[in-house]
Structure 1
Amino acid sequence: MCTERPPCNNGVLVENQLKKLKLIQADLNRINKFPVKTIQILDGDFIDCVETHLQLAFDHPFFKGKKPLGPPERPYNQSHFGEVETEMFQLWSMSGEFCPEGTVPVRRTTEKDMLRASSVQRFGRKVRRDSLGKGHEYAVGLVSGGQYYGAQASMNVWKPRVSYRNEFSLSQMWLVSGSFPHDLNTIEAGWQVDPELYGDNNPRLFTYWTSDAYQATGCYNLLCPGFVQTNRRIAIGAAIAPTSSYNGAQFDISLLVRKDPKNGNWWLEFGSGVMVGYWPAFLFTHLQSHATTIQFGGEVVNSRAWGFHTATEMGSGHFAGEGFQKASYFRNLKVMNWDNSLIPLSNLKVVADHPNCYNIQPRMNRVWGNYFYYRGPGRNVKCP
C-alpha cells in the first residue's frame, strides 16, 4: 500500500505517460507506411516515397484490393499545359530529388508532431466548432443556393504570424453541402500556417475533408484513410516557397477542385492542370451529388489568451484597403456547373466576422475577373 502521496502521484503520471507513448507509437505505425525512398528536407521534414497503392487511403475497407483511379477528362473550356509549375514551389523539391514512378510523397509524421497535439485521439483533425463558429474567425467570399460541381481560384501565399501554438491561419476554398452541426460535408484545400500540426510557422499546402461536421470523420492531408494522392512531385503538408513579400514580389498558387462526372470522385488540381489526387465519392453523403455553397478566403483561430483578441495575422497581416502587394488576394474565382464547364462568379457575397480585426473588399477587372482583397492583423486599437 502506498502511503506517501507524491511518489504515488508520480507513479500514476509515469504510467499515464507510458500509455500515451504506446498509443502514439501505434498511431505512427498505422500512419507511416514503409517507404521506397526517403528525402530529408532543410526545414527538418522527411518525405517518404510510398508505393501509391500502399498509402494510408488504401487502409479504408472500401479500397480493399483496389488501385488508384486515373484522372477524369478535362473540362472543354480549360487547357492542359502539362506538369509545369509543379517544381520549385515547395521546399522539398528544391533538393532536386523526387519520388520514383509508382510512388507518392508523404510527409512523415513524428512522435514530436503527435506530442504537440492537444489530443492524441484528435490528431490531424480540426477542433469542432459550435454553431456560431466560436473561436474561429473568417473573411470570405461565397456563392450559395446553386448546384456546384467544382471551384477554382488563385491565392497569394504569405507567412503570417501565429501568436499561440493552438492557433492557426489559413487561406483556402471550401466546397460545402449539408448542414451544421450534424451532417455537414466539406472539401477544403489551400495553404495554412499551423504550429501545433507542423511544428513551425511555414505556410504549407493542405487538404481537409469531413462528412459529419468535423465530428468523427475527416482529417488534414494524408493523416487518415481518405484523400488519395496520385502525383509524385507535389507533397501535401510540405512547406511552400517562395512566399509573397510586403510591397514586393507576389507569389500565388492556383487550385481547382472538380467532380468527375463518371464516378463522382472529387479531384484536386494544381497550377495548369496538374492532378494531385482525389477524394473518393464514398467518403461523403451530400457531396456524392454536388456542393451547395462555395467559399474562398481566410480563417484564423482566436483563442483569446489572456483575455485579448489574438494578434495572429490573416494572410499578409494588412487590411484589404491597402491593395496589391500589401493585402492578400483571391483572383480568377470560378465555379463548375453541371456540364463540367468553368464559369466566372456573378453573385459573389463577401462576409467578415470581425471587420476591425480582419476585413475583405470585392473587386473586378478584365484580367483578374472576380477577385477580392482580404486579411488583417488581428489585435489592434479597434480590435482589442
Structure 2
Amino acid sequence: MGMAGFIAVLMLIGVIISPCVYGRELSDHQEIEVERLLKGLNKPALKSIKSEDGDIIDCVPIYSQPAFDHPLLKNHTIQMRPNFIPKSTSMYTKTKTKATQVCHKNGRCPENTVPIRRTKKEDIIRSKSIESFGKKTTSSIPEDTPSTHHEYAIMNSQRGKYFGTKFAMNVWNPEVQIRDEFSLAQTWLVSGDGPNLNTIEAGLQVYPGMYGDNNIRLFVFWTTDDYKQTRCYNVNCNPGFVQRSNSITVGGAYTPVSQYDGEQYELSVLIWKVNEELVGYWPGSLFTSLGDGATIVQWGGEIVNFETDGKHTSTDMGSGHFADEGFRKASYFRNIMTVDGTNTLSEPQGVYPTITNDNCYNVKAGDGTGTSWGLNFFYGGPGQNAKCP
C-alpha cells in the first residue's frame, strides 16, 4: 500500500469507535477497515519468530519497514553506522547484568532485516478508537503542576544545548492496576515550545491497554507538534523511526527483570542520532527544532493513574518502592550524561527534581559524582498507601 493510500485509510477509519470496547462485535464494514489497517502496518516478512510471551516478531527487509511510509523518508538512505560516537570524559565500570528480550530465546532475525512486533486485530480493537491506536494518551512533557491523572518523579537538566543523553537504568516489571493506566521509565529530549514542541522519548513501559499484557517493554516515541498529530509509540502510526538492529525489537518484552533485594538487570541507553545498541534513529528531517539540539533533558518515571471509587490506584512506578530504600529495592538511573556540541559526553550540572505527588511516588539524588555510578538517582513508589489514599 502506498503512502497516500495508507493516510487515506487512517483518515477514513479514524472516526470509527470500535464497538468491541463495549462488548459488541465488529460490523462487516468495520472488520474490513481493521483488516486494511493491519495490512498497512504489517509488512511482508522473510521470517517470523513466535515469542514465548505470545508476540510474533516479523523479520522485515530493512527497506520495507514502516518508517519508509513517511513522505520525508521516501528516498532516505539508512545510516548503518556513525563515523564516530560521543566520547566520555569519565570511565565507569559496568557491574550489573544486561537485560535481554524474551523473543531472543526463539531466535533472531537475519542480516538486512529488522524485527517488528506484529500488530494483531485485538491490539486495534483494544483501543478506544482506531484513530487512537498506538497513540500516547497524555499530551504534555513533565511539569511542576500536579495532575489528577498524570504523575512524575523525575530529574531535569538545566536549560542549555544538548545533542543526546546516555545512562543505565535497572529493569523492573511494575504492577499496573487498571488496563488504561501505564507505568514507564524513560528519558525526554525536548526542544521548541507551543505548537512546535519537539520531543524524543525512549525507555521501558508496562501498558496493558496497548500491548494486552503486563510485560515490561522497550518503547520509542516522538512528536513534532506538541503531541497533536505526531504522538505515536513505536512504529504503530506516524512512521518515522528507522530501525537498524536485527535483534532488538521495539515494543519487545524483557526477561528476567530485577528482583527486590536480589539480582539487578540493566538496560544501557544512548540517544544520539543512533543508538548504542544500533536499534535505530529518527532522521533529522522529521523535526522542526530538535535538529538544532534539545534545550532540556529529563529522566525518570511517569504514571497515568485513573482513580477507582475516589481512591488512588496501586499502580507501581519502577519497583513499586520509594527512592529512599536505595539499591536493590528502588529503581534507579545511573551514569547519567549528556552530549554537547563537541560530541563529548559529560555529567550535566545543576539537575533538579520534579515530583507531582511525593506521597505516591518520589525521587532522591544518589551519592553524587566521583563514584562508579557517576550522576545517579533513585525513584519510584507504590501508588496507593497510607499517605496516598
The corresponding residue for 2:72 is 62
- On the 8 A contact 2:334/2:377 being kept in 1, the answer is yes
In 2, the alpha carbon distance for the partners of 1:15 and 1:163 equals 26
The corresponding residue for 1:283 is 286
Structure 2 residue identity aligned to 1:49: C
3-state SS, counterpart of residue 355 of structure 1: coil
Cα deviation, residue 44, structure 1: 0.5
In 1, the alpha carbon distance for the partners of 2:323 and 2:129 equals 35
The corresponding residue for 1:268 is 275
- On the 8 A contact 1:50/1:106 being kept in 2, the answer is yes
In 1, the alpha carbon distance for the partners of 2:133 and 2:214 equals 18
Residues paired across the two proteins, number: 354
In 2, the alpha carbon distance for the partners of 1:377 and 1:221 equals 27
Out of 308, 312, 315, the residue aligned to residue 311 of structure 2 is 308
Cα deviation, residue 165, structure 1: 0.5
| Counterparts in 2 of 1:203 and 1:15: CA distance versus 1, 3 Å | closer
The corresponding residue for 1:355 is 358
The corresponding residue for 1:112 is 122
The alignment's TM-score, normalised by the length of structure 2, stands at: 0.87
Cα deviation, residue 72, structure 1: 1.7
The corresponding residue for 2:105 is 94
Structure with a larger share of its residues in strand: 1
**Structure 2 counterparts to residues 174-323 of structure 1, below 5 A:** 174-180=188-194, 182-224=195-237, 225-258=239-272, 266-269=273-276, 274-323=277-326
Unaligned runs of 5+ in 1: 1-12, 80-84, 259-265
Unaligned runs of 5+ in 2: 1-22, 91-95
| Counterparts in 2 of 1:308 and 1:342: CA distance versus 1, 3 Å | same
- On the 8 A contact 2:73/2:240 being kept in 1, the answer is no
3-state SS, counterpart of residue 153 of structure 2: strand
The corresponding residue for 1:377 is 382
Cα deviation, residue 158, structure 1: 0.5
The alignment's TM-score, normalised by the length of structure 1, stands at: 0.88
3-state SS, counterpart of residue 305 of structure 1: coil
Cα deviation, residue 278, structure 1: 0.6
| Counterparts in 2 of 1:68 and 1:134: CA distance versus 1, 3 Å | farther
Q: Give the % identical residues.
A: 45
Out of 163, 176, 187, the residue aligned to residue 162 of structure 1 is 176
In 2, the alpha carbon distance for the partners of 1:232 and 1:119 equals 32
Structure 1 residue identity aligned to 2:136: K
In 1, the alpha carbon distance for the partners of 2:70 and 2:210 equals 23
Out of 153, 158, 163, the residue aligned to residue 144 of structure 1 is 158
Cα deviation, residue 375, structure 1: 0.1
Structure 1 residue identity aligned to 2:41: I
Cα deviation, residue 14, structure 1: 7.7
Structure 2 residue identity aligned to 1:381: A
- On the 8 A contact 1:49/1:100 being kept in 2, the answer is yes
CA offsets, 1:194-233, max 9 Å, x none?
1011111110111001111111013111213110000101
